[in-house]
Amino acid sequence: MSEHLFYQTRQTRPFIERSEGIYLWDADRNRYIDGSSGAMVSNIGHSHPHVLAAMQSQMQKATFAYRLHFQSEIVEQFAARLAKKAPLGLDKVFFVSGGSEAVETAIKLARQAALARGDDKRFKMMSRLPSYHGSTLGAVAVTGTPPFADPFAPMMKAMPKVRAPLHYLDGLDPNDPATAAHYLKDIEDQILAEGPETLLAFLVEPIGGASTGALVPPAGYMEGLRALCDQYGLLLIYDEVMTGGGRTGTYFAAEHFDAVPDMIVSAKGLGGGYMPLGAVISRNDLVEDVLDHGGFLHGFTNAAMPLAAAAGMGVLDVIEDEQLCARATRLGDTLFARLKELQARYPFIGDVRGKGLLLAFELMADAQTKQVLPKELHAHSKLVDIAYQNGLIIYSRRTRNGAEGDHFMVCPPLITSTAQVDELVGLLDKSLGQFADLYLK
């Protein structure tokens, strides 16, 4: 670790030298495949010339102009394009610099929208266990990963959580309507126990990110959740920080469901790693109500920066011009099938799941009984380190609420070629073999 810089732990990694397409090179010229697009960020790959040119062109005009001093044409254009990508009715955009800021913004907008309606009772945000919604205190309060929240408990109000529909662990068929009904009953019970009149909104990753390992909800779940929110007066907010930007095969994962949310929060793939960028896209009337009642008590100095908007526009151009959503579906199917082949050869891969290029596999001691590997093995970090030594970057999480084991996100950029999928799977195969030899014999 550097003398003057710190992150979560003392772990060190090589210095980055250069990145292009799906590859990164360290200072010793070792090459790595970006098998997780960083943290599911670099959806269009690294150093795309179109985005670099778009940023350069904006840099020659204005990089920053404080939003209260000037309007910016490029920021307006980008907002209009994002609104078009969101489901019908969501057409007001508030820009921020990342996912946690987007979640904070949605919480405050939901609260102010309730107050504008004269309802001051609703203040609780409901979310799921496990889930991850960010690192700031408000986002931690709605994050369903207790060790991230517990140390800060006296500083915030922990919000109510319901169990995510972990159907693969529960041995339930995701296509059987009874499965969704089972999890929805849990949610309704919890809503009634909390008191529906105190609940502001339900915050949910429509397709799970790293906390659940690319969990696809059972058929009918999102539609049922929408109906419950309507019945009890909760707003429905989709956390598309990870799923936005084409990763699941549609620009927003909302398109996969017959359930329109009241707000979408997004980040990561929006800026694609070219600039810190996030957004809340909200129902028009909610924003109008808040603006009519004293204004939105919120804002970040660096948000809505023209240079960030230029990067976001460039990324969106690439996603559209290169038809990367369709490509995510096609390539996702190929990669999913290849991961299933690995599962057939390595019995400790207990599950493979996901949608588009948001894919994950889970390691288990016994796939039949869903027994997880012992915690002390630290499989999540061991396999990541082995893969890293082999020149493959994957992203792991050991969910720390006791519900799950070690899972690994395999989410390369959407520009990956079929030959590069072969290369990635080859390195993963080698890494799994080495992991098994070292730790499971």
Binding site for ligand PLP (CB under 6 A): 39, 98-100, 103, 132-135, 205, 209-210, 239, 241-242, 267
Using CA atoms, how far apart are residues 278 and 253, in angstroms rounded to an integer?
16
Cβ contacts of 345-352, under 8 Å, gap ≥ 24: 345/429, 346/432, 346/433, 346/436, 348/373, 348/436, 348/440, 349/432, 350/405, 351/168
Closer CB to ligand PLP, 302 or 390, in the complex: 302
Sort residue 30 into left (φ over 0), alpha (ψ -120 to 50) or beta. Answer: beta
Taking a C-beta distance cutoff of 8 angstroms, is the pair 353, 213 a contact? yes
Closer CB to ligand PLP, 255 or 322, in the complex: 255
Using CA atoms, how far apart are residues 218 and 61, in angstroms rounded to an integer?
48
Taking a C-beta distance cutoff of 8 angstroms, is the pair 252, 267 a contact? no
- Nearest approach, Cβ of residue 295 and ligand PLP (Å): 25
Closer CB to ligand PLP, 132 or 232, in the complex: 132
Closer CB to ligand PLP, 129 or 421, in the complex: 129
- Nearest approach, Cβ of residue 296 and ligand PLP (Å): 20
Peptide bond into 130 cis (omega under 30): yes
Closer CB to ligand PLP, 21 or 98, in the complex: 98
Point out the residue whose Cβ comes nearest to ligand PLP.
Answer: 99
- Nearest approach, Cβ of residue 95 and ligand PLP (Å): 13
Provide the sign of the torsion angle of the four alpha carbons 337, 341, 342, 348, taken in this order: positive
Q: Position of tokens 């808040």?
A: 290
Closer CB to ligand PLP, 113 or 140, in the complex: 140
Closer CB to ligand PLP, 138 or 391, in the complex: 138
- Nearest approach, Cβ of residue 119 and ligand PLP (Å): 26
Taking a C-beta distance cutoff of 8 angstroms, is the pair 396, 406 a contact? yes
First to last CA, the chain: 33
- Nearest approach, Cβ of residue 347 and ligand PLP (Å): 30
- Nearest approach, Cβ of residue 224 and ligand PLP (Å): 21
- Nearest approach, Cβ of residue 131 and ligand PLP (Å): 7
